[in-house]
Structure 1
Amino acid sequence: MTHTTRVQSDAAGKATNRRFRHATMRDFPQMQRIYARARALMAANGNPTQWGTQFPRESVVLDDIAKQRAMLLVDEYDGQERILAQFALCPGEDPTYLNIDGAWLDNNTYVTIHRIASAGLVRHAARDCIKWALKHYGNVRADTHPNNKAMQHVLESAGFARCGLIQLLDRPTDTTRIAYQRHEW
């Protein structure tokens, strides 16, 4: 699945033709570098525990690729494809979202955005990923750590409603996340 987006400029002002595609195993090393960059950036900005030093685990990223949940925002720059951002797009009911201290906007079918990270090469890459998911799926949920002010800003500026708090099921501590939803249709 490849979807072309509008032509935009990168940080140096060069025109880029952004598109989305599924990640392949060939992309895994670069994806790991992008996640390492995101972990360091979160820690430097007051959010050292959301992903810590290990998340997302290698096995999770490999599973995302194998199940075609890993999506990449890419462009061509000086004749080479480069990854601008990545995320997991998870269809179906998310078990973590069954219990919420608050209320979802609706109980309709939705997709969830998880593990979003920007390579830091262009502005608004995470926003573009979220807009793409809304355009193609309509009803989107996401969550983020209370200390992740940057992602809260991205979601809220994209029109997501803060629906309440959820508790992660896959870890023993630091489990509270702010839950968001936007229903486009």
Structure 2
Amino acid sequence: MVARRFRHATMRDFPVMEQNYERARELMARNGNPTQWGHTFPKPEVVQDDIMRHRSILLVDGSGANERILAQFAACTGEDPTYQSIDGHWLDDDAYVTIHRIASSGLIRHAARECLEWALKQYGNVRADTHPNNKAMQHVLEGCGFTRCGLIQLIDRPTDTTRIAYQRHEW
């Protein structure tokens, strides 16, 4: 078994990351969730911005020319404006990191779980949200011990804005 590790993405990783997001969009659509990411989310400029701000984290194995990207996500520090209003209650008001745009390459099982567990070890207090139709991600979040805190409304789009909000705080 090849050791897995996490690292920050670089612009060299961008083409593979785009392929992984395309795969994720197709998978979500096939599994009854065609609108969460539609055909264009996340936009390339958002992914590039994540990379430049060192928010894009990759789960990889192998090394050099044999390295494979197994999964990716954005770890966004600071308050998320979307999370200021919730129909429900967050676990606390402590500083947190938000996990956004998680996607797997499909090369291994449970890659999203590994990403969430890594984020919990690194940051301790993690929030995330997902579409009500994204049963797979709800299952992963709940399987990792995240608490369903309520509903939030995305502020960066005009329609299909409701998301289920989750949090886990390692006390």
**Which of 144, 157, 166 lines up with 1:171 in the alignment?**
157
Structure 2 segments unaligned to the other structure (5+ residues): none
Stretches of 4+ aligned residues off by more than 4 angstroms: none
**Which of 119, 141, 145 lines up with 2:131 in the alignment?**
145
Alignment partners' CA distance in 2, 1:57 and 1:95: 19
Residue 52, structure 1, aligned to residue 38, structure 2: yes
CA RMSD of aligned residues (A): 1.1
TM-superposed CA distance for 1:81, in Å, is 0.2
Greater fraction helix: 2
Q: TM-score, normalised by structure 1?
A: 0.91
Q: Tell me the equivalent position of 1:12.
A: none
Greater fraction strand: 1
TM-superposed CA distance for 1:63, in Å, is 0.3
Residue 23, structure 1, aligned to residue 23, structure 2: no
The aligned runs of 1:22-171 (5 Å cut-off) are 22-76=8-62, 80-171=66-157
TM-superposed CA distance for 1:131, in Å, is 0.1
Counterpart amino acid of 2:144? A
Structure 1 segments unaligned to the other structure (5+ residues): 1-14
TM-superposed CA distance for 1:79, in Å, is 6.3
Alignment partners' CA distance in 2, 1:84 and 1:136: 19
Percent identity reads: 74
TM-superposed CA distance for 1:16, in Å, is 1.6
Query: Would the alpha carbon gap of residues 20 and 78 (structure 1) be closer, same or farther in structure 2, given more than 3 Å must change?
Result: closer
